[in-house]
Amino acid sequence: MASIKSVFPEDFFVPGIDQGLYFVPGQNLKVRYSSPARVSYLAPTSYAGHRLMSHKRLSNWDGWKKSVVMPTILAVVENATFDRLGLKVHDKYLLSGAVGDRLFKNYPAKGPECSGKRPGAALQEWMRTNSFRPAEPPSEYQEDYADLDFIVPAKNFYNFYHFTREALHFLALYRKFRLSGRILIYANGKTELGFVRESVQTWYSDIADRVELRRYEKEPAKFERCLIPYHTNFLYFQSRDKVMKSIGGVGRTASRDPKGNNVRSLHINSIESTLADFQRAARKKIAPRRRDRRLYVIRKSSRVRRAVGERDLIAKLRKIGFEVVAFEDYSNFEQARMVAEAEVVVGIHGAGMANMIFAPRGCHVIELSNLQTIEKRFGDFNGFAIASDLNYHHIILDHDFSDADNPTRVPKISVDGHRGVVLDQFSMDALYSYILGMLEADTLAALLSTGEALNSSKDMPALRDFLEANRARLMHEVEPHIWRANVSNWEGDRDGVLLHLMHALRFAPRRSRLIRRILTVAHERQDFDAFDEALQHLRHCEPDSIVPLFRERGWPLRSEDETNANHSADRSDKDESDQSKS
């Protein structure tokens, strides 16, 4: 059985240098540009640490100004071997598509050391050095190829997301080039769910009878010659402009250095050309009759992630026209049609959200998520969002998980499973407000303008009545909570001031002025929990301001803040010394 421990950098295929990879004539390596992935988020989670980590991850997610459609090439490979690690050509692993992504991602932790270098660094150096060698793309195949077997690697036959994202759309190449051989889809594991064959039949009925689903066995599958869908995401890092032009005009440098962050950045800002082709063909077949449906997606199985408290949310959403659907109750085509006719889709993170590939341009897809999912699964659905040109929203909630010894611990998927979410009253109200604001943006803008005017004029009675009347529409915005704190201050309710400022902090976790105000009021009210939470936020956004602030206010310093201040001062002194020497 194949083991990554025995795979060295020189065991990776170099396109344009190593022999055995040929492009079918009539194709090129030009990238196309498309609308960027429009990703936004709201993090009403009750834990400060989770809120701050989510904000850090999502506010700096490296989104490009344009997304990139990478060419998927129909290629012929010789002496091909398919095993659990991927595809080997003449006994060298060819990096391509999702199977290549997994091999590249796992290599730093599981590969062998090479000449004293860590596996990841050794592989990157190998790829970097060899990227300058190819002078032209792989040669074109000159013989007849139409009746060769077409091989598509898949992760498994039981996850709707993985099959749709990593395998199904590649069949568009088979149809485009009017191939006639067998279509062999290989995957791990013995489990096969009915959606796999149903998906093939639904979207590729004209070639479905040629599809065979196969499992990787102990012995790898070998082919003297076969066809593959060659996704060029790794070719970009394994070549230079002579082979494939550099990506430009995306608002940043799309580096060709094969560091993990650069590979990841291209992955979450690009799609395969076949995915774009599949999306267009599917929507044409669906022929949507409307696009105003509002869907809330539930999950029936007890085995999957839960949305605790969703019953109350559903009751609120029904009042504004939402349908409640379980994708398990519908055929693949029926699921696709529902989403194709939707203006908004709300649901917990899960495989069923892959149906967003069928959504209309401008649709809003709202994913109920948590910090665990953001840390381990962020970007999974970006490709679908790019292909459909939709608006993709992440709502970061508490985990449906508790650790009595450490309540704020982020659960590990390998130990605790992939967790669901909890909707408490505050987060549910914020989510409902967020949805209303998204659907009626002009109304929200007018309300915020009115509230700002009332707050500026200090007409507190009118502002109080205004905020109470429009609470349901303003819960997810920062400023209305600050205005409500101002009203409480006018009323002489200092505890109310603190409560509403803490609500504002959930949506503006790095706003220094807000944090300082909370610290002042919390210290006055002797609310140590609120003080500690605000201090945690200040440590993340302005750690160097803590000592001066505390000394100015006469507050006792925490030892960790004093230590950090000393370290910061030492670094500052060193920087000044280095500058004077230079």
Do residue 537 and residue 508 come from a single domain? Answer: yes
Q: How many domains does the chain have?
A: 3
Looking at the structure, tell me whether residues 474 and 340 fall in a common domain. Answer: no
238: its two tokens: 């394994």
- The vertex-258 CA angle with 233 and 186, nearest 5°, equals 40
Q: For 5-54, how does the pLDDT look when each residue is reduced to its tens digit (9 = 90+)?
A: 999 999 999 999 999 999 999 999 999 999 999 999 999 999 999 999 99
pLDDT at residue 16 in the model: 96
Task: Specify if 44 maps to a domain.
Answer: yes
> By the 8 A CB rule, do 392 and 370 touch?
no
- CB count in 10 Å sphere of residue 446: 11
The residue ranges of DSSP E strands in 380-437, in sequence order, are 391-396, 398-399, 421-422
* pLDDT value at residue 580: 45
Q: Is residue 253 part of a domain?
A: no
Task: Give the C-alpha separation, 92 to 426, whole Å.
Answer: 55
Residues 532, 404 share a domain: no
Asked if residue 42 is part of any domain, the answer here is: yes
Name residue, tokens 């803008």.
445
Owning domain of residue 482: 440-541
Alpha-carbon gap, residue 108 to 127, rounded angstroms: 14
CB 172 within 8 A of CB 278: yes
Which CATH number does the domain housing residue 332 bear?
3.40.50
With respect to residue 458, please indicate whether it lies within any of the assigned structural domains.
yes
175 & 133 share domain: yes
Residues 19 and 157 in one domain: yes
Question: Does residue 274 contact residue 323 with C-beta atoms inside 8 Å?
Answer: no
Q: What is the pLDDT of residue 472?
A: 97
Q: Do 329 and 193 lie in a common domain?
A: no
Indicate the pTM of the whole model. Answer: 0.93
The reply to whether 305 and 419 lie within a common domain is: yes
Both tokens of residue 306? 């839960």
CA-based radius of gyration for the chain: 27
Confirm whether 568 is domain-assigned. no
Secondary structure E strands in 116-241:
150-153, 183-187, 211-215, 221-231
pLDDT value for 581: 47
- 81 and 159 housed in the same domain: yes
CA distance 73 to 79: 19
In the chain, which residues have pLDDT < 50?
570, 572-573, 576-577, 579-582
What tokens appear for 158 in the block? 């039981």
Tell me the pLDDT tens digit for each residue of 530-547.
999 999 999 999 999 999
Q: Are residues 293 and 404 in the same domain?
A: yes
CB within 8 Å of 450: residues ≥ 6 apart: 466
Beta strands in 290-424 (DSSP E): 293-298, 307-308, 322-326, 342-348, 364-369, 391-396, 398-399, 421-422
The CATH number covering residue 458 comes to 1.25.40.10
Rounded CA gap, 410 and 416, in Å? Answer: 10
Measured CA to CA, the distance from residue 342 to residue 116 in angstroms comes to 55
Domain ends where: 414, 439, 464? 439
pLDDT at 564: 63
> Residues 348, 418: one domain?
yes
- Answer yes or no: is 270 within a domain: no
Same structural domain for residues 361 and 414? yes
Residue 312 in any domain: the answer is: yes
- Looking at the domain assignment, is residue 557 inside a domain? no
DSSP string, 37-63: PEEEEE---S-HHHHHHHHHHHHTS--
Beta bridge partners of 22: 76
Asked if 190 and 160 sit in the same domain, the reply is yes
The pLDDT of residue 190 is 85
Read off φ and ψ for residue 103, nearest 5 degrees.
-65, -45
